Structure 1
Amino acid sequence: MVSVAQPCTIEAKLNPRPRRRLSSTPTPQWDAIFQQYLGYSPGGYAYCIGQNGTLVDSGSWGYARMPQDTSDGQGIPFTVDSRCNLASVSKTVTATAVFKMVQRGWIKSVNQQFWPFIEALYPNLQPAPGVKTVTIAELLTMTARLPENGTLYSSDSADGFVEQYLGSNGVLPRQLYVYSNTNFTILQAMIDSICQQQGLTDYVSWVQSEILTPLGIDTSIFSPVPDDPSWATLSYDPSSPEAQGYYWPEMQCVGPGGWISSASALLTYLMGFRDNTVLLPEYSDFMMQRMLGWYPGATTYGLAYHHNGGLTQNVGSLSMGLSTGIIQLPNGYDAVLLSNKPVDDIIGLMLEAFDAT
């Protein structure tokens, strides 16, 4: 089975905890903290750090493919240019794609109900009870009252999956926050519908043309299309360093978890919020501060805004996985960390590295 990690909103429980700095200027210890907690076989990791829109630090360790997964037995190193599935970090991309449509004026407010924007995609669908009452903001904040659904892989297209889901899953009146991938697949389908009404293509091409290309990001690197299985980054189980890794096929439900990127390209995306290339500040600030696809975190120097991601796949007795995290931090810092093995509380670890001395 495939599962996706829940968003992490608590401090890392690391022992010993790094001593806090009391000065007004952070001196993060990225490499030392990451090496201490992630520098073990199997797999590897890569991180990139920006400050005020400029790359100021980066590093990597270990393997994207372990030696047992290469024909020459040498392995493939994990570098800042290694592509890795972003898992739920993809949700920030989808949230940003929604706000690009708000900025364009195609959506007046995320407090509008989503159904009028998507119904043209499903002219013959009678939605289940209560579906028409759900707002875009409720989908973004996981308060849509719709039944939890973690689907990333579908035998149908994403739009076909959403049609089936909305026709058979009514709202649960007393349900509040429930983390559900399908909320963001619905947003993917909504963007598909709006694009078609505007004479454009679909969700993926909207993200590419409106978010990635303006930032100069190579859309073959930051893409939902995986690398070839013979050389793609694989996922590993830390309990079994000698086991072969797991390959993640392409996901139909890209919006909640299907984007793939390198650490370097992902940092370029994240830093794009600093210079307003991605969104005007009134939209990006509103999106992050209202937790519309993002989550808050606390540091010694102020609030941070982040999202983590994780995938696990059970293969026999093994649990293959990966963990990802992005954070917009105080003092102009942006941080990206990708690992092709499960990391307990990856956001907490990144916050510790930022606050450490």
Structure 2
Amino acid sequence: MESIIKNIIDRYKRIRSMRQLKQVYGGNYAFVGIGDHSINNLYPVLNYLHVPLKYICCKSKDKIPLIEAAYPNVCATISLADILHDDDIKGVFVSASPQSHFAIASEVIKSGKALFIEKPPCQSEDELLQLISMRKEANFPQVTVGLQKRNAPVIRILKKKLQKCRGNMSYNLKYLTGAYPEGDALLDLFIHPLDYVTFLFGKAEVKFAEWVKHHTLMLVLKHEKATGILELSTGYSWHDAKESMTVNTSNGIFEMNQMDSLIYKDKQTMFMGVPLEKVYPLKMVEVHLFDRNDFVPTIHNNQIVTQGYFDTIKGFVDAVEKRKTSSEQSLEAIIDTYKLIESIRSIQNKK
């Protein structure tokens, strides 16, 4: 019996290994940018998926020999034009400075090549609409925006659960980090929670917005069937950064913590408006819809997956290779996100 079980286990491991080795893509790709974020979060996914990189583009000539030493099969260059004129390149990944994204994205889209553009893809709603227009003129090449939290498992699960909930709901969201002197916190950081509440609850109207000491943004947002209170801040600490959300529905409460866990709690029974839990003890029922396992070091428990990077990049390459398509992270899909950001900016400017 033991030998039978061992053979089954060995066969399962062999099949799993073979499946991973067969994960091969046919096209060649280029990457624009080789900063800390790209090296830690994006390049590892490309390596795991065996996505063939032909070029890495950077700004400094001094980096070229270093890049080619670190990536022996890659051609390092400072010329985006060389990449766009190479017919072998099917898609281009762009993760450079946020201020440069619009200009680079414009050139890639006009070339007709597929584009993966890190957030933010541009600086304003007007620039976003320009990119959409360029894509139409270029015969609709694949464009994926790297707002990866839409692909985080907790967000995917929560969206499916909320679609089954009836009536109005409310939520409370906290996104708390340390200081961010190097850029625009609203567009570079807060775009993440603003995007996924738009993804979860739909178009949002700003009912209240106020900055506290230029580092904390307090918001009240009204969606069609939800109202949210948000605290978005760079006034805390990077060593203890927090991202959490509680959603109160008619049936129960969802609690999300750090993209690592999602818990559902049933609401207690009431009799004639009286909560029975105040009369006698009732057992609280909790359902763990998702928990990242910190003990088992597999790909599915890696934060690259739980934060959504893995599925976002894989979805882009699959779409380029005509394996699977999705429009949930297209330029058109984030119009409401940019409208929300513009509304917050307009209120801020009036004050």
Give the shorter-chain TM-score range. under 0.3
Structure with the bigger RCO (C-alpha within 8 Å, sep 6+) is: 1
Higher-Rg member (1/2) = 2
Bigger helix share? 2
Task: Output the TM-score relative to the length of structure 1.
Answer: 0.25
